[in-house]
Structure 1
Amino acid sequence: MSNGVGQPARRSTRARSLIWQALESTDRFLSAQALHEVLSDRGEDVGLATVYRALQMFADDGDVDCLRDSDGEMLYRKCLRDAHHHHLICRRCGRTREVEGAGIETWADEVANHHGFSNVTHTFELYGVCGECQAAN
């Protein structure tokens, strides 16, 4: 877990370590509630509010990727890459792959420049059905 650039080191706690371990054990995006359920199933006594706070801290530090699902719920996943990237996500099982998108980056820069914007950030997620889910049908 990084401490972010220019930020003071954060005190490690048992709960944060357990939450981090749960994030490391999956390649899927999880809601705070789902992550809390994983911890409960493992017999760990970590409060839901603690899970939310830890996930926000990890997101602020750039250690987790965040996205909203179709219902607007925030989902979290441990970052596998330090560099900017995008996600390809299975609509059925939630399996996620990190992907690069040089064409998207070029397009975003061109659109921003055309409209006189600078310092633009973006997210881009692709949703589909993975090969394993397709084979299951």
Structure 2
Amino acid sequence: MTSTDPAPSPSTGHGHGHAHGAVDDEPAAPPMRPTRQRVAVTAALTDAREFRSAQEIHDAVTSAGNKVGLATVYRTLAALADAGMIDVLRREDGESVYRQCEADRHHHHLLCRQCGATVEIEGPAVEAWAESIANEHGYSQISHSIELFGTCPDCAA
């Protein structure tokens, strides 16, 4: 991952869930109040294995009978990402997408361009490289994001 933050979240200008945390330890975010909107958005994310756009999450939330505006979904996603509860990344087409990740430690993603299948991967060599570059230039509290895109075996068949 690079020394820049991952894809901006819609309301904060940055976005990193636990998968895109700093190489150095970051302070834990305070617990979030479980509002009706947060519960509905979290439920929609829990039901999905793939990354979803804010619009897709909004559609799932409203299909489940919840009255929540799209702007509220964006704000909720930004808050969840900032709290480290979800991951956000930018697809090759530039759209930010969100997912509750399975790993609770720093990781990266390998995504299928066709079906959206995602594999969570670790990159110890990348971590060492990022730390080395930061140290070389006197930086601390760095964060980075690497997303790999390709075609999964099912779509390639």
Q: TM-score, normalised by structure 1?
A: 0.85
Aligned to 1:110: 132
Matched, 1:38 2:60: yes
* Residues 94, 6 of structure 1: alpha-carbon distance in 2 compared, 3 angstrom cutoff: closer
| Cα RMSD after superposing both structures | 1.8
Q: CA deviation at 1:103?
A: 0.9
Instruction: Point out the structure with max Rg over C-alpha.
Output: 1
Letter in 2 for 1:5: A
What are the equivalent positions in structure 2 for 1:40-119 lying under 5 Å apart?
Answer: 40-119=62-141
8 A Cα contact 2:29 2:84, kept in partner: no
Of the three residues 35, 39, 54, the one matched with 1:13 is: 35
Q: Which runs of 5 or more residues in structure 1 are unaligned?
A: none
TM-score with structure 2 setting the length: 0.75
- The SS at the match of 1:132 is helix
* Cα distance in 2 for residues equivalent to 1:55 and 1:92: 24
- Work out the number of aligned pairs and report it: 131
CA distance, structure 2, for counterparts of residue 91 and residue 130 of structure 1: 8
Question: Percent identity of the aligned residues?
Answer: 47
Divergent runs of 4+, >6 A: none
Q: 5+ unaligned residues in a row in structure 2: which ranges?
A: 1-26
- Opposite residue 44 of structure 1, the aligned amino acid is N
Q: Distance in 1 between matches of 2:136 and 2:61?
A: 48
CA contact (8 A) 2:29 2:83 kept: no
